[in-house]
A and B are shown apart, each in its own frame.
Chain A
Amino acid sequence: MYAYDEIDRTLVNERVSEFRDQVKRRLSGELTEDEFKMLRLQNGVYLQLHAYMFRVAIPYGTLATKQLRALAHVARKYDRGYGHFTTRQNIQFNWIKLAELPDALEDLSKVGIHAMQTSGNNMRNVTSDQWAGVAPGEIEDPRIWSELIRQHTTLHPEFSFLPRKFKIAITASDHDRAAIKIHDIGLRLIKNEKGETGFEVLVGGGLGRTPFIAKTIKHFVHGRDILSYIEAILRVYNQYGRRDNIYKARIKILVHELGIEKFSREVEEEWQHIRNSSLQIDDEVIEDIRSRFTYPAYEKLPHMPDELRQAAADPDFEAWRKNSVAPHKVQGYSIVTISLKPIGKPPGDATAEQMDALADLADKYSFGEIRVGHEQNLALPHVAKRDLPALWKALDKLDLATPNVNLITDIIACPGLDYCSLANARSIPIAQELTRRFANHELANLIGRLHINISGCINACGHHHVGHIGILGVEKNGEEVYQITIGGRADESAALGNLIGPGVKFDEVADVVEDIVEAYLALRERPEELFMDTVKRLGVEPFKERVYATR
C-alpha cells in the first residue's frame, strides 16, 4: 500500500476546496455550463442521462479497507446504495447531486481518495496490473513507477488542457493484465543487460471509433528518464495533436498520421532538450516512494495446508478455487479474484453492503488490501491458503463467489443506454441475458477462457474491439443493432477483433453468441485449444457460416 503523507493530503484538500468554490460559482450562475463543464470533468463529474455521474480514481487499482469503506459510505449517503467498477480502475456513482459533490469529495479525501483527472482532456488515472507486487515473476512492483507518474501528471500545468484524454498503463509481468497496448502510452517494465530498470515504451494505442494497437516507440528508457520521456511525448502531442476534430484528436491519430518513425524523431528531439533537466529522477526519490509502499509481514506457511486439503472434497469449493485463486509470489499465499459478475446482474456493480463486508474480509484475510482490475472484478492480493475455505464461505454469502473469472460469463460491459447519454444501444441487459444462457458452470468450464466485451456505442468503453467475442451496439433506423467481432484480445498479444458479418437485433445477440460457441466446440482440435486459438487457426469464415447460414 502507498501511504499518503501530509504533502499529498494537502494537495487533495486544496483541490476539494477549489472544487467547492467552483460548484458554488456554478450554482450561483457566475460560471456558465460551458465554463463549468471543463472544471467538473477535471474532477470526474459527468452530466449523464438521469443525473450527474461521479467517477472516482483508484490509482493502479489498489485500495485500503478504509478507502473501500469510504466508497461504500459515498454509495450509501450520496447515491442509491451501489457503485460501478469500470474498466479503468475507477468507480462510478450514477445518482449524485451536484450540490453534494464537494461533500462527497471531502469525505473521500479523508482516506486519501480523489477524483482528480478521472475525466476531461488531461492525463487520466494511471492504471496498472491488479496483481502488482504479488504476481510471481514480475520485474518489480510497477506501482512505484505508477505512483511516480501519477504524482508528476497530477495538475500538470502544461498538460491539463490536451487535445483529448490521455491514458497511461504500466505492467511489470510477461502476462499483461494492464492492457498496455490499448493505451495512449503503455509502459512495460524491463531490465537491460546491465540489470538496470527501465521501460519499453509503447504509444498510440486506443479503442473508440478508430481503434489502434500501440506501437513501440523506444525499446529501453532508463527509469531515471521516464518522466522526461513522457513529458516529451506529451509536449509533442500537445503541440501537434489535432484539435479541429474531436474524433481525430487522440494521440493514436497523430502517431498514425505522422507514422511512428517521424513521431519518434519529434519526441527524441524534444527529449534531448529536457532529459538532463530537473525531470531526471535520482535514486533517492525512487527510494522515497518505494519506502512508502508497505508490504504485509507474511508468515512462513506450508505450501499445502490441511485446511485446503480437507476443503478439496467439496466440489463447489474446488470449482471456485480452480477458477478464482492464483499463485502468489510468497509460498503459502494466494491471490483471490472476486467476481463482480454474478449471474443475471450488471457487470461491475457492488452494493455498499458488499463493499463494507468485503473490507471486513480484506482486514481479516488479506492484510487490509483490495485490488480492482480492468475486467471489472476485484481481488484480495494476500490470502493465506489455509484461509481460502473460510473466505470462500463468506464470499458466497455475499454473492461474491461466482466461479466464473475468465469464463464466458465474466463479461465486461459499459453502462450503455441504461445510464449513458452517448449510448446507441443497451449493454447491461445483453450481458445479463448472456450470463443466464451460460449460467451452467460445467458448460462454461468446458468452453474455457473466453472474454465477451460489450459496448453500447462506438466509444468502446466496454472494450468490445479487444473482446474474444466483441459486441458493439449501434443504431439503425431507430433500432438497436449489434455488430459482432471475434478474435480480439487485450493482453500481451493484443489484437483487434474481426467483424463476422452484418449486425443482429437485440433479441438475437445471445443466440448468435451461442452459435459461435457451438461452432468453436465443434471446431477445436482438442479441449485445450482455447477459443482464441481456434479463431486464430481458422479465421472468421467458419464462424460466419455457422451464424448466418440459418439467418
Chain B
Amino acid sequence: MPLVNGGKIADDSFVKLAVDTPLPEGGDILVPAERFVGEAEALLKRAGKVGVIWPNNRDIDELVPYLGKVAAIALVFPTFRDGRAYSQARLLRERYNYRGELRATGQVLRDQFVFMLRAGFDSFEVKKQADAEAFMQSAKRYSVFYQPTGDGRITALHRRMQLRHSEGVGT
C-alpha cells in the first residue's frame, strides 16, 4: 500500500505492531490504541518514534494527554462510506492543535483526498497505486471552498469579502 506524505509518494518508516507483537529494539512503530494506552510510558521511553492507530469509534479525548508525545496518529476508514475519522481529524487539528503526522488509513481512495486534506490529514495510506500517483492532481481538483476548516484555506464567503473590498479601494 503506497504512502503519500507531504504530497509525494514516500517510504513508510513506521512498522505496524499488533496488540501482542514483541516490541522491536529500535525504529519507528505504530501501535494500536489499546496497547498504546496500556503501555504508553514504556513505549514512549524507547528510541524511535511512536505513533498510534486510533479507531473511529474511540473517543479522541482519551488521546489528548499524549498529543505532545506521539509522532503520528493513524485514523481509520474501515470503508470509504464511514466518515467518523473526518470528525476526529478536525478535532485533533482544530481543537487540540495536534501538529504531528495525521495519517488516513483503510479505504483511502483518490476521490476522498480533498476532503481528507481539508479535515487535516497530511499522510495517506492509499489503496491503489494509480490513486497515489494521481495525488497532487486530485488534491488540486478544487480551488473553491465554502466552509472554514483548520486547513486554513480561504472560504468563498471571505474571498468575496476580499474582492469586494479591493474593488472598493479602486472606486
A residues with a Cβ closer than 8 A to B are 5, 7-8, 10-11, 14, 17-18, 22, 30, 35, 38-39, 121, 151-162, 235, 238-239, 243, 273, 277-279, 284-285, 288
Contact = CB atoms under 8 A, between A and B. Distances in A.
Interface string B128-143: 0010000000000111
Nearest to A291: B164
A161 B156 contact: no
Nearest to B157: A285
B109 A157 contact: no
A161 B83 CA distance: 5
B88 to A, nearest CB: 8
Contacts of A157: 86, 90, 114-116, 118-119, 147, 149
Contacts of A284: 161
Given A8-B156, A153-B146, A157-B147, 19 more contacts: A11-B144, A11-B146, A11-B156, A14-B144, A17-B141, A35-B80, A151-B146, A151-B147, A151-B156, A152-B146, A153-B147, A156-B147, A157-B114, A158-B90, A159-B83, A238-B83, A239-B84, A243-B82, A288-B161
B144 to A, nearest CB: 4
A278 B148 contact: yes
A281 B119 CA distance: 21
A14 B143 contact: yes
Contacts of B160: 5, 7, 288
Given A30-B130, A285-B161, A38 B83 contact: no
Given A14-B143, A157-B115, A288-B157, A279 B148 contact: yes
B39 interface: no
23 contacts: A7-B144, A7-B156, A7-B160, A17-B141, A18-B142, A22-B111, A35-B80, A38-B80, A153-B146, A155-B114, A155-B146, A157-B114, A157-B115, A157-B116, A157-B119, A157-B147, A157-B149, A158-B87, A158-B119, A158-B149, A161-B82, A162-B83, A288-B160
Say whether chain A's binding surface is mostly helix, strand, loop, or mixed. Answer: helix
A452 B87 CA distance: 41
Contacts of B45: none
Nearest to A159: B83
Contacts of A277: 148
Nearest to B128: A30
B158 to A, nearest CB: 8
Contacts of B119: 157-158
Say whether chain B's binding surface is mostly helix, strand, loop, or mixed. Answer: helix
Contact of A14 (B109, B142, B157): B142
A26 to B, nearest CB: 11
Chain B interface size range:
20 to 34
Nearest to A227: B147
Contacts of B118: 157
B161 A10 contact: no
Nearest to B151: A157
Contact of B141 (A5, A14, A161): A14
Contacts of A7: 144, 156, 159-160
Given A239-B87, A288-B157, A10 B115 contact: no
Contacts of B146: 11, 151-156
B157 A161 contact: no
A35 to B, nearest CB: 6
A11 B87 contact: no
Q: Which 6 A-B pairs have the closest CB atoms?
A: A161-B83, A157-B118, A11-B144, A278-B148, A157-B115, A151-B146
Contacts of A121: 81
Most chain A CB inside 10 Å of its own CB: which residue of B95, B119, B156: B156
B159 to A, nearest CB: 6
A156 B148 CA distance: 9
Contacts of B114: 155, 157
Contact of A39 (B111, B141, B164): B111
A161 B80 contact: yes
Nearest to A156: B147
Nearest to B155: A278
Contacts of B116: 157
Contacts of B145: 155
B81 A38 contact: yes
A18 B134 CA distance: 13
Contacts of B115: 155, 157-158, 160-161
B148 A158 contact: no
Interface in B106-131: 109, 111, 114-116, 118-119, 130
A161 B148 CA distance: 18
Contact of B95 (A35, A153, A273): A273
B145 to A, nearest CB: 8
A428 B159 CA distance: 47
Contacts of B109: 35
A47 to B, nearest CB: 16
A40 B117 CA distance: 21
A235 to B, nearest CB: 6
Contacts of A159: 83, 86
Contacts of B83: 158-162, 238
A30 B161 CA distance: 41
A121 B86 CA distance: 14
A542 B156 CA distance: 58
A493 to B, nearest CB: 35
Interface string B69-102: 0000000000011111011001000010000000
A13 B81 CA distance: 25
Nearest to B119: A157
Nearest to A231: B147
A288 B81 CA distance: 35
